């Protein structure tokens, strides 16, 4: 269509109107819509004012949009926004509601309702971005002209030409390319959007969608980042500064250039005063109000990285990576951040102390579990997360050595054929094993002959454990481990009672927690509950304890394991209350352990090298790890009442 045709069709014909001299048209560039080319040609030859030209071009565009809409039948259907859920940041909290970490993809966003946004902020944004928002229908041709003149008068951009509806459409549906076809599509979609949604709905979507700088999207996350408060609590000074960021967030960011941010704030306040949305006194007060800045919240470090890594891994396996990064989850973990801090301190100081004693170990892991709920209260996966993100608490499969023996002794007690004072033989023995034979040895190479089970376990004698394993059956021992929540692979080898299997500290702490709770078991977990941003429950790990072990057999084991601490290999773990536990040392001296418990807390501590190299001759769990366990328990149980284990006499022997 030629420019003359566009001009003829843009107004009602007048057949009696005198003819005017022909206007010479400039050569078409081919880059503009014909209607706008005509406006451009008039601008080059007319003696009219700038305002007249701008208004004419704007009127032509507005009048032609209905026809243009027919040409854009392939544009997105704006009705899909009725079910649109923007990506949201997921938040991870400790058991007391303390924020541990925020997890997001590119967009760090928290969605809120329009009534949760400060009126000052809504007015400030509308004033600088689209002060005629509530009077136009998606596009504002006269507003374009006003913005042009206002910007010319001020010598800088003080008012935008695009409406808020157009900005929202551009962000949600279109590419950022600067072409006429994209601008026309933006206008058409804006008209459609205003037919489907109310002004309040559009404004709410915009304020939750717009970019505020530093990977922060949406007004709520921006308010918490810039001013450490929710959007509902922003005052006029804060609101006007935030509104000024939208045009160029990183340029005007107070984190980047505070003075420039203040200058931009003044422009917003001046605009609000100009249109009557703020008085002179309010503007003066806002300019004078001191601003206390928050901090950039995007991609900040976790307060408990080993914990949050484990939580994210579990959530990803359940819901998928995209749901975790963009689903706006609210995750309440089982972790007590105060106890976590004590655990981290214990690991750092404990390993340093061990190394000073000549033990060549480079890592330590600690897991603390509440036996009553099987909630993980603290978990440390290594000495320094900044140097190694490998979480040894849940990922490192290491041999537990003699710390495995309680599973064998429980199986023996559960048969009803053995009690703590039953006699077992600590004498040489050989068993067929595969194509050859297996002859177990004690740690010191000696034999004690006949002895009670209580003595054998307290002194960590190997041969009695092997004998009992054969008596009750290795497969039965494996069944006990599975009942206690241990999922790592196990082979029914003769040496299994001595810990010839690879397990994690997480599994060991969870299994011992069931002993501490008298045989009542729940799934060990780091997550209490997960909801979406609207409060809908996605995952509920409320404990549902089940009695999975024989109460008498557990009481017998608890009684026996107390002797390990009071008179056996774990005397370095003595604390000022009844406690049970077991040392663990592998024959190659690659892993040393202490796993112990009181009725309110079970804790596993492992020490070793990531490359499985030996840590030193004579290194034992009782000599080096038990003191670390004791140190942590003193801190963890401060102020916790002393409880005793239920005696065997309370139960019937099977």
Catalytic residue numbers read: 129, 402
Q: Quick check: 125 and 243 in contact, CB under 8 A?
A: yes
Distance, CA of 62 to CA of 585 (rounded, Å): 82
Distance, CA of 205 to CA of 200 (rounded, Å): 9
Distance, CA of 249 to CA of 40 (rounded, Å): 33
Q: What is the DSSP letter of 138?
A: S
| DSSP run (H or E) holding 323 | helix 321-326
Contacts of 17 (CB under 8 A, 6+ apart): none
Distance, CA of 571 to CA of 509 (rounded, Å): 20
Residue 100 three-state SS:
strand
Contacts of 598 (CB under 8 A, 6+ apart): 516, 575, 577, 578, 579, 580, 633, 637, 643
User: Exposure of 179 by Cβ count < 10 A (0-12 exposed, 13-18 middle, 19+ buried)?
Assistant: exposed
Residue 11 three-state SS:
coil
Q: Quick check: 174 and 182 in contact, CB under 8 A?
A: yes
Distance, CA of 345 to CA of 370 (rounded, Å): 20
- Helices and strands (H and E) in the chain: how many: 23, 19
Q: What is the DSSP letter of 534?
A: T
Q: What is the DSSP letter of 23?
A: P
| DSSP run (H or E) holding 231 | none
Distance, CA of 286 to CA of 283 (rounded, Å): 5
Question: Angle at which helices 405-414 and 474-483 pack, to 10 degrees?
Answer: 100
Distance, CA of 38 to CA of 7 (rounded, Å): 7
| DSSP run (H or E) holding 423 | strand 423-426
């Amino acid at each position: 269509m030629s420019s003359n045709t566009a001009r003829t069709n843009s107004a009602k014909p007048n057949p009696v109107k005198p003819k005017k001299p022909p206007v010479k048209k400039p050569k078409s560039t081919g880059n503009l819509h014909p209607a706008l080319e005509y406006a451009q040609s008039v601008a080059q030859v007319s003696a009219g004012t700038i305002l007249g030209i701008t208004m004419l071009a704007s009127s032509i565009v507005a009048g032609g949009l209905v026809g243009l809409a027919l040409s854009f039948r392939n544009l997105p259907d704006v009705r899909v926004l009725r079910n649109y859920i923007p990506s949201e940041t997921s938040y991870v909290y400790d058991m007391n509601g303390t924020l541990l970490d925020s997890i997001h993809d590119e967009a760090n966003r928290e969605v809120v309702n329009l009534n949760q946004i400060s009126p000052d902020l809504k007015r400030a944004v509308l004033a600088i971005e689209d002060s005629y928002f509530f009077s136009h229908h998606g596009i504002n041709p006269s507003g374009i002209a006003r913005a042009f003149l206002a910007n010319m008068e001020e010598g800088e951009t003080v008012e935008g030409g695009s409406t808020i509806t157009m900005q929202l459409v551009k962000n949600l549906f279109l590419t950022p390319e600067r072409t006429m076809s994209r601008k026309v599509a933006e206008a058409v979609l804006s008209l459609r959007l205003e037919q489907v949604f109310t002004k309040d709905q559009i404004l709410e979507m915009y304020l939750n969608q717009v970019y505020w700088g530093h990977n922060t999207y949406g007004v709520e996350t921006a308010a918490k980042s810039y001013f450490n408060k929710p959007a509902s609590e922003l005052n006029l000074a804060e609101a006007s500064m935030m509104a000024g960021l939208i045009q160029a967030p990183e340029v005007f960011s107070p984190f980047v250039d505070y003075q420039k941010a203040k200058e931009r704030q003044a422009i917003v306040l001046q605009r609000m005063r100009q249109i009557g949305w703020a008085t002179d006194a309010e503007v003066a007060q806002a300019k004078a109000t001191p601003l206390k800045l928050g901090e950039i919240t995007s991609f900040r470090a976790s307060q408990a990285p080993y914990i949050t890594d484990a939580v994210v891994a579990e959530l990803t396996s359940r819901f998928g990576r995209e749901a975790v990064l963009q689903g706006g989850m609210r995750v309440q973990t089982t972790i007590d951040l105060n106890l976590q801090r004590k655990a981290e301190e214990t690991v750092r100081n404990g390993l340093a102390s061990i190394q000073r004693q000549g033990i060549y170990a480079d890592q330590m892991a600690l897991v603390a579990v509440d036996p009553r709920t099987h909630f993980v209260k603290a978990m440390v996966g290594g000495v320094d997360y900044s140097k190694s993100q490998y979480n040894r608490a849940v990922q490192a499969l290491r041999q537990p050595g003699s710390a495995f023996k309680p599973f064998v002794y429980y199986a023996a007690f559960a048969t009803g054929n053995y009690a703590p004072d039953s006699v077992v033989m600590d004498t040489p023995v050989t068993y067929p094993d595969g194509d050859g034979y297996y002859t177990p040895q004690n740690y010191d190479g000696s034999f004690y002959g006949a002895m009670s089970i209580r003595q054998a376990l307290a002194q960590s004698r190997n041969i009695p454990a092997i004998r009992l394993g054969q008596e009750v059956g290795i497969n039965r021992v494996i069944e006990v481990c599975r009942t206690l929540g241990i999922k790592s692979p196990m082979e029914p080898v003769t040496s299994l009672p001595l810990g010839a299997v690879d397990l994690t500290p997480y599994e060991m702490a969870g299994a011992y927690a069931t002993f501490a709770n008298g045989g009542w078991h729940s799934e060990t977990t780091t997550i209490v509950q997960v909801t979406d941003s609207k409060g809908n429950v996605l995952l509920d790990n409320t404990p549902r304890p089940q009695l999975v072990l024989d109460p008498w057999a557990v009481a017998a084991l608890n009684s026996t394991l107390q002797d390990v601490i009071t008179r056996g290999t774990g005397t370095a773990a003595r604390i000022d209350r009844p406690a049970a536990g077991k040392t663990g040392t592998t024959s190659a001296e690659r892993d040393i352990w202490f796993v112990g418990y009181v009725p309110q807390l079970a804790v596993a501590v492992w020490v070793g090298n990531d490359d499985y190299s030996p840590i030193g001759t004579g290194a034992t769990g009782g000599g080096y790890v038990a003191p670390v366990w004791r140190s942590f328990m003193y801190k963890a149980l401060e102020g916790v009442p002393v409880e005793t284990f239920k005696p065997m006499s309370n139960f019937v022997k099977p």
